Structure 1
Amino acid sequence: MAENRRQDHVDHIVRQWNRERPDLDVSPMTVIARMSRLSRFFERSIEEVLARYGLNESQFGVLAALRRAGPPFCLSPTQLYNSLLISSGAMTNRLERLTAMGLVERIPDPKDRRSVLVALTPAGRKVVDEALTAHVENEHRLLASLTQEERRTLARLLRKLLLGFEDERQLAAPVDSVPLPG
């Protein structure tokens, strides 16, 4: 298991803190710092992939939510911003940009003429399907150093950690700065 003996940047930092502050348990850094560094690597890689399709992560999130909804690939603006955990103002800005790009359109809600639905255009469906395929391939590449069993274990542990935060905060407020990809 040569992988277990290799040292990363976090090991170096933790070793320094253990030397300088032996009175302080810095073991959480071994998890949090690695998650933080990985998050930056992942975000950069995801942004590069989506940029090939003329999208950023927040735009992809909207298109992906519409695509996941299934035929006829439309949702109300409220359903969209609730599913993406963003404010209505942030959703309005995203929808205006995606409409200008020809990827979504606003259509009358057949159940309530006073309301509108946001629908994928044929061009939007093509772009999101192509971007999703590249995005998932990229995610496989990003996790290639882990076995399937290691991925399942990591996913289970991260779910447990995330549920603790979500339970604590009850998802009380929209999080504009953290789009949910895919």
Structure 2
Amino acid sequence: MKTSSTDPATEAKPEVGPAEVPGQAEVPDVSHRDFLSFSDVAIKVTQRRLPSVDPGAMEMVLLLHRVTNALVYDLESTVHRPAGWSWGAFRLLFTVWVSGSLESKKAAKLAGMSRAAVSSLTNTLEASGLMARTPDPTDRRGVLLKLTPAGKQSFEKAFLHHNAREREWASPFTPDELQTFIYLLEKLNTAGQQAWVSHRD
């Protein structure tokens, strides 16, 4: 019986190109992407690697999260930091401005913040002369938060600038598109109030 004279150890093997390296073809080129444009490639890659993922739900949450982050950064850096406060402080100022005066625990709930965060922000805003603590007439141990006259004036001036920036963000929509978008966000807001959603205490 004739055997092959070829040595298996020296037998030529096919070369493996870069595209054939396991996993190499799945790595996208993100060098030209930024924070917002990264979303579309992230969705496509996730669909390919995890086919059972719901791409519509993922795209909704990913885009909402990323656009919200970009919007908040823009508003904070162009309006609120120049006004002398942070985005968190704006949320508290806005909540108290709308409510007139508010117990700190309720302010934390309405602003979507922890009580510790509200306490810290109140200290800062009080030291700046923008907010005051006053006794709660219905609870001897309670304290109400309210804007000082200077705080109200400063907030309202900044909010006009804030709203001008909001108009810039809304400008890509036609009036009808904007109303449709608001309607859809309101539906999502309603869904967020259901029992299965985890809420801050």
Fold in common (TM above 0.5): yes
Tell me which amino acid in the other structure corresponds to 2:173: L
Tell me which amino acid in the other structure corresponds to 1:117: L
CA separation of 1:62 and 1:13: change in aligned 2, threshold 3 A: closer
Tell me which amino acid in the other structure corresponds to 1:58: G
Q: In the TM superposition, what are the counterparts of 1:153-172 in structure 2 within 5 Å? A: 153-169=180-196, 172=199
- SS of the residue corresponding to residue 145 of structure 2 reads strand
Unmatched tracts of structure 2, length 5 or more: 1-36
1:68: how far off?
Answer: 0.8
CA separation of 1:93 and 1:169: change in aligned 2, threshold 3 A: farther
1:148: how far off?
Answer: 1.6
Tell me which amino acid in the other structure corresponds to 2:82: R
TM-score scaled by length of structure 2:
0.69
Contact 2:109 2:200 in 1 (8 A): no
- SS of the residue corresponding to residue 168 of structure 1 reads coil
Contact 2:97 2:146 in 1 (8 A): no
CA separation of 1:28 and 1:77: change in aligned 2, threshold 3 A: closer
CA separation of 1:13 and 1:92: change in aligned 2, threshold 3 A: closer
1:154: how far off?
Answer: 1.2
Tell me which amino acid in the other structure corresponds to 1:130: K
* Distance in 2 of aligned mates of 1:79 and 1:159: 23
* Distance in 1 of aligned mates of 2:72 and 2:80: 10
- SS of the residue corresponding to residue 167 of structure 1 reads coil
From 67, 90, 93, the counterpart of 1:38: 67
Tell me which amino acid in the other structure corresponds to 2:112: L
Tell me which amino acid in the other structure corresponds to 1:144: S
Q: How many residues in Structure 1 have an aligned counterpart in Structure 2?
A: 163
Unmatched tracts of structure 1, length 5 or more: 1-7, 175-182
Higher alpha-carbon Rg:
2
Q: In the TM superposition, what are the counterparts of 1:24-173 in structure 2 within 5 Å? A: 24=52, 26-48=55-77, 49-69=79-99, 73-169=100-196, 172-173=199-200
* Distance in 2 of aligned mates of 1:130 and 1:88: 27
* Distance in 2 of aligned mates of 1:29 and 1:170: 17
CA separation of 1:106 and 1:12: change in aligned 2, threshold 3 A: closer
1:66: how far off?
Answer: 1.6
Tell me which amino acid in the other structure corresponds to 2:92: V
Contact 2:101 2:144 in 1 (8 A): yes
Tell me which amino acid in the other structure corresponds to 1:68: V
- SS of the residue corresponding to residue 102 of structure 1 reads coil
1:14: how far off?
Answer: 4.5
* Distance in 1 of aligned mates of 2:196 and 2:84: 34
* Distance in 2 of aligned mates of 1:166 and 1:38: 22
Tell me which amino acid in the other structure corresponds to 1:125: K
* Greater relative CO, 1 or 2 (CA 8 Å, sep 6+): 1
* Distance in 2 of aligned mates of 1:26 and 1:35: 14
1:162: how far off?
Answer: 3.0
